[in-house]
Structure 1
Amino acid sequence: MGAATSEAEPPPEPLQGAESSWVRSWKNLLAGIGGTVARLERSWATRRRLRPPPPHPGEKLPRPGEKAVPEWPLPQFVSLFLPEFPIRPPAGQQQLKILGLVAKGSFGTVLKVLDCRREKVFAVKVVPKVEVLRRDTLKQCKEEVSIQRQISHPFVHCLGDSWQGQRHLFIMCTYCGTGDLYALWASLGHLEETTIRLFAAELALALGYLHDLGIVHRDVKMENILLDERGHLKLTDFGLSRQLGRGQRARTICGTLQYMAPEVLSGGPYSHAADWWSLGVLLFTLAAGQFPVPPERDHLAMLASVNRCSYESPGSVSRKLCLLLSELLCRNPLRRLHHLHHVESHLFFRGVSFDAELLQKQPVELVVAARRAEEAALGPSPAFADFDCDLLPSPSHPCPG
C-alpha cells in the first residue's frame, strides 16, 4: 500500500460573470472616495489661499459692521500704516460731514466735521501718505497716534479715532472752536496775572500727567494750546512727542526755535525738563507781551542768543511771577523747576487748588467774551460737501488736502 499524500485543493471556480461585477463595484467605490478626497483637498487649498493672514500683535480687529478688505495680501502703500491706522471703507465715513476748514499747512489739513450719528463736532487732521513717506516721518506719525491713545486728561487734547484711506491718513480729535492761545495773546497784547496763573496751573497739570506716562511733548507753544468753549486749555499736536523710558534721553533737535530749551538746541541729551523751559518761555511772553528772545535763522544762532539773554522780566510783572520765570528759564536742566509737586508749592500759586475739576468750574470770562466778539464779526461759516473718506476731488466742491 502506498503512503497517503495530501495535495492542495484548487479554489472553486467563480460563477460566470460574478468576479468582474464584484471587482468593478469595489473599484467604483474606491474611485468615488478618492474623487471626494481630491475635491476636499482642492477646496481646502483654495480656502487657505483666500484666507487673510492672522493679525499682527497689537493690531486692532475690525469693528462689528465693518466691511472686510477684499484683497489679501494688502498693497504695501496700505499695510505700511497698519495697525495704528486701521482700514475704513469709504461707506463707513458717510456719517461725517465737513463743516469748514480749520487750518491748512505744508504737511496736512485740519477740517471741522460733524459726526451725524453722534451729533458731535470733531476736528480731523488729514495727512497725505505721500508726504509722510517723502519726509520719512512714518515712525513719528505712528508714534503720535500711539501716544494719544494712552491719554485721557481734562487739559490734553485726546484722540477720537484714526484710520486710513487709499491716499490719506486721518486723525480725529474733539473740536475746540475758540481758537488757540496765540490768537488770544496776539489780540490782547498781554494777559493779566490772574489769567496767567490759571493757564499756568492747567498746563502744569497737563505736563505733569504726560511726564508721569514717560511722554515728552517737545513742542509746547501757544499755537499748540487750544481753548474750549469755556476758555480752558487743551494741549494738542503730539507730532513731535516721544515716549522716553526711565533714564532714557533724546538727542533730536526739534520743536519751535523760540521755545526750545538750550539742551535741545545744542543737540542733547535732554529729557522731560525741556518741556518746562518751553512753559517758561510761554508764560514770559503772555506776561510781557513779547518773546524773551527774538527768533533766529537756525538752531545754532538761536542757542547763542539764548545763552546771551538775561531773561529779565518787565517791571509790571509781580515778584512771585518773576521768581517762577527765573526758575523755569534756568539753563541747567538739573536745577530747573521740572516737577509738578515743586510747581504746586511755588509762591506764585499760593491759594490755587491743582484740581482739574475745580479749575474748570468757572469759565474764563476773558476768553468767552473774545469768542463772542469774533463770532459776531465772522458770521456763519460756509458748509462743505459730505465727507469723502479719501478726499477725492469734486468738480462742485473741491476738498482741501
Structure 2
Amino acid sequence: MGNLISRSANRTAHEEQPPHTNSATNTNRIRFSASSSSLANFTSKYLFRSRRSYSLSTINPIASSEQPTKTSHQRFGWNFAILNRNASNLISRSRSRLVNFSRSLPHITLPHFLTRSTSTLSPDELATQSRSIWPTPTIVLLFSPQFKLINLEYLNETYKFHGVIASGAFGTVYRVIDRNEKTEFALKVLEKSQIIRDKAVRQLKNEVDIQSVCGHNTFIVKLIAFWQSHREIYLLSEYIGGGELFDTIRKFPYKLVQLYVAEIAVALDFLHNAGVIYRDLKAENILLDDAFHIKLTDFGLSKFLKIGQRTHTLCGTLQYMAPEILLAIRSGDFVEYDHSVDWYSLGVVACRMLTNQLPEVVEAEMKTSTSNPTSISDFTDNSRANNKLRDELNRLPLSPTLPALKSKCNDRQSTQGTVRLPVEYSTLPSDGQDLLERLLEFRPERRIRSIFSLQRIAFFMGFNFDDAKKKKINPLDLMDSTEIY
C-alpha cells in the first residue's frame, strides 16, 4: 500500500512539474511530495475523538468526502499541528495519572518535577526542567534499586572519618561519627570495578538484603544504610568496638567457651529459621561488643536457603569448611549440602577456643594446614578459579602441629576421609571432647544441626540458654583481666 501511495505521489509530482527545472530540484520536490502525501493520507483517514483520549481504540476513520480541500503543504501543516496537540495531551494525562497513582502508594517517591505543577515553577526551574534528562549510567543501574545514588559531598557533610578499622581485598572499613547525632558507625567502602570483575553483584545484593532482614537480632551486626556513587559502594553498619574474638581474648576459660558457643549457636539458629545459610563463620567474622558479647558480621557469602533445601556453591574459608565442601573442591564433583556446614564451622571455632588449634580434614591424597585462612568467593561459574583452588589444596603441606589422633569421632568416619583433631584434644574433659566430636562429625547426617540438639549434650548440662539469649550472663565475670589482650 505504501509503495502504491509513493508511486502515485511521484506521478502527481511529475505532472505538476514546471517545464524548465533542473534534475536536483525535481528530485527534492518528488521526495517532499511523497512524504507529505503519505502523512496526509494517514492523518486525514483517522481522527481523535477528544483531546483527553490517547488510546488507539479512540481513533475513528472518517469518510474521504470530509477531507478538507487543501494543498499538500497546508494539509501537512494542519496534520502536524493535530499530532503535536495530541502528543501534548498524552504527556499531560500520563503525568497526572502517575501522580494520582503514587498517592495511593506512600512508599513510592516520584521525582520532584512530577509532583509540582508547571504553573508554580520559577523561571529558573522551568529552564532546568526543559533540559535534556540523560540516561542513567549502566554502572549505576547495575546496583539499583537497592543502592541509592549519592555524592561524596553528602558523606563528608554527614560523617566525620576517624581512621581505618580494617582493610583488605574486599575493600576498606572506616570508623565514622555522625556530625549531628555524635554516634559511631562502621563504613565499609567497596570498589564497583572489583565487584563487577569478581561477578559478585548478586552476592552483594544478597548480603544487603540478608543483613537488613536479620540485623535486628542481638547477636548480628545491624546494617544502618547503604548507598552507591559512580565508583564505589558504601555499607553503613553499627560500630562494634570490642574487636575480633581471638585478637581480644588470649585464653578462654571453660565457662566462657560455653557462653560464646551458645551465643553463636543462637545466632546460627536464628539465621537458619529465617531461611539463611551463613557459610562464612570464622574467627575474623566474630566480633565482641563493649560488653564482650558475640556479634556476627560479613554476610558476603550468605544465601537465602530454607530449612530442608540444599545448595551446591563452593565457597567459604579453607580451615573452616565442612568436609563435604572440601572434598568437592578437591575432586571437582558436584556436591549438594545444607545448613549443617555452619554447625561444622562452629565446631572449628570451639576447637580453637578449647585447644588453640584447628582440626584438619584428611583424605587419601588431600592435606590441609593451619596456615593463614584463605577466603574463597563464589566459583560456580568460574572453572579456572576452581582449578586454582584445587591446586592450592594439593600444595598445602601437612601441618606438624596436628598429629593423627584416634578418637571416637575418627572411628565413626566413612572411608571418604576423616577429621584429624589436635593433640590437646586428649587433655580436655569428656564433655569437651563430646562437644567437638558431635560438631566435627565427618558425615553431615550425624552432625549436630540445631540448637535443640546442642543444648541436650553433656557440655551444656546446667547451662541456661534463655539467659544467654537475653544477655543476662556477663562475660567479664567468667574471665580474669590477664586473659584479655
Query: For residues 46-105 of structure 1, what are the alpha-carbon distances to aligned partners after superposition, in whole Å with 9 as ceiling and x for unaligned?
Result: 9979x99999xxxx755999xx99945311110110122122344443211111100110
Alignment map for 1:102-251 (pairs within 5 Å): 102-151=165-214, 152-185=216-249, 188=250, 190-251=251-312
Secondary structure of the structure 1 residue equivalent to 2:162: strand
Query: For residues 138-168 of structure 1, what are the alpha-carbon distances to aligned partners after superposition, in whole Å with 9 as ceiling and x for unaligned?
Result: 1101111011111021111121111111110
**What is the aligned partner in structure 1 of residue 352 from structure 2?**
285
Shift of 1:237: 0.6
Shift of 1:242: 0.9
- 1:264 and 2:325 aligned: yes
Secondary structure of the structure 1 residue equivalent to 2:446: coil
Secondary structure of the structure 1 residue equivalent to 2:190: strand
Query: Residue 81 of structure 1 aligns to which amino acid in structure 2?
Result: F
| Unaligned ranges ≥5, structure 2 | 1-76, 116-128, 329-334, 361-368, 372-390, 400-415
**What is the aligned partner in structure 2 of residue 273 from structure 1?**
340
Shift of 1:116: 2.0
| Unaligned ranges ≥5, structure 1 | 1-30, 375-401
Distance in structure 2 (CA, Å) of the matches to 1:210 and 1:221: 16
TM-score by length of 1: 0.73
Question: CA distance change for structure 1 residues 266 and 209 in 2, over 3 Å: closer, same or farther?
Answer: same
**What is the aligned partner in structure 2 of residue 298 from structure 1?**
392
Distance in structure 2 (CA, Å) of the matches to 1:368 and 1:147: 36
Secondary structure of the structure 2 residue equivalent to 1:337: coil
Shift of 1:365: 5.2
- 1:343 and 2:454 aligned: yes
My pick for the range that moved more, 318-327 or 84-93, is: 84-93
Secondary structure of the structure 2 residue equivalent to 1:250: coil
**What is the aligned partner in structure 2 of residue 391 from structure 1?**
none
Secondary structure of the structure 2 residue equivalent to 1:334: helix
**What is the aligned partner in structure 2 of residue 74 from structure 1?**
136
CA contact (8 A) 2:266 2:469 kept: no
Shift of 1:304: 9.8
CA contact (8 A) 2:438 2:447 kept: yes
CA contact (8 A) 2:419 2:442 kept: no
Which structure dedicates a bigger proportion of its chain to helix? 2
TM-score by length of 2: 0.61
Query: For residues 244-265 of structure 1, what are the alpha-carbon distances to aligned partners after superposition, in whole Å with 9 as ceiling and x for unaligned?
Result: 1344312122111111001111
My pick for the range that moved more, 176-185 or 226-235, is: 176-185
Shift of 1:37: 9.5
CA contact (8 A) 2:252 2:479 kept: no
Distance in structure 2 (CA, Å) of the matches to 1:349 and 1:181: 21
Q: 1:320 aligns with which of 428, 431, 446?
A: 431
- 1:311 and 2:421 aligned: yes
Query: Residue 454 of structure 2 aligns to which amino acid in structure 1?
Result: V
Query: Residue 345 of structure 1 aligns to which amino acid in structure 2?
Result: R
Shift of 1:364: 2.5
CA contact (8 A) 2:273 2:307 kept: no
Secondary structure of the structure 2 residue equivalent to 1:284: helix
CA contact (8 A) 2:256 2:479 kept: no
Query: Residue 243 of structure 1 aligns to which amino acid in structure 2?
Result: F
Secondary structure of the structure 2 residue equivalent to 1:364: helix
Shift of 1:322: 0.8
- 1:364 and 2:476 aligned: yes
Query: Residue 298 of structure 1 aligns to which amino acid in structure 2?
Result: E
Shift of 1:351: 2.0
Shift of 1:369: 4.7
CA contact (8 A) 1:176 1:226 kept: yes
CA contact (8 A) 2:255 2:478 kept: no
Distance in structure 1 (CA, Å) of the matches to 2:449 and 2:397: 21
Question: CA distance change for structure 1 residues 36 and 206 in 2, over 3 Å: closer, same or farther?
Answer: same
Query: For residues 222-277 of structure 1, what are the alpha-carbon distances to aligned partners after superposition, in whole Å with 9 as ceiling and x for unaligned?
Result: 11001000101101110111111344312122111111001111233111000000
Query: For residues 88-126 of structure 1, what are the alpha-carbon distances to aligned partners after superposition, in whole Å with 9 as ceiling and x for unaligned?
Result: 344443211111100110121111111123321111111
**What is the aligned partner in structure 1 of residue 465 from structure 2?**
354
Secondary structure of the structure 1 residue equivalent to 2:263: helix
CA contact (8 A) 1:129 1:169 kept: yes
Query: Residue 135 of structure 2 aligns to which amino acid in structure 1?
Result: P
Query: For residues 25-48 of structure 1, what are the alpha-carbon distances to aligned partners after superposition, in whole Å with 9 as ceiling and x for unaligned?
Result: xxxxxx9xx979956844754997
Query: For residues 283-305 of structure 1, what are the alpha-carbon distances to aligned partners after superposition, in whole Å with 9 as ceiling and x for unaligned?
Result: 11111111123237734678999
Distance in structure 1 (CA, Å) of the matches to 2:477 and 2:108: 45
CA RMSD in angstroms comes to 3.7
- Give aligned pairs, total: 331
Question: CA distance change for structure 1 residues 52 and 168 in 2, over 3 Å: closer, same or farther?
Answer: farther
Question: CA distance change for structure 1 residues 45 and 169 in 2, over 3 Å: closer, same or farther?
Answer: same
Distance in structure 2 (CA, Å) of the matches to 1:256 and 1:63: 44
Shift of 1:128: 0.6
Query: Residue 176 of structure 1 aligns to which amino acid in structure 2?
Result: I
Query: Residue 87 of structure 1 aligns to which amino acid in structure 2?
Result: L
Percent identity reads 34
Alignment map for 1:34-45 (pairs within 5 Å): 38=84, 41-42=87-88, 45=91
CA contact (8 A) 2:419 2:441 kept: no
Higher relative contact order (CA 8 A, sep 6+): 1
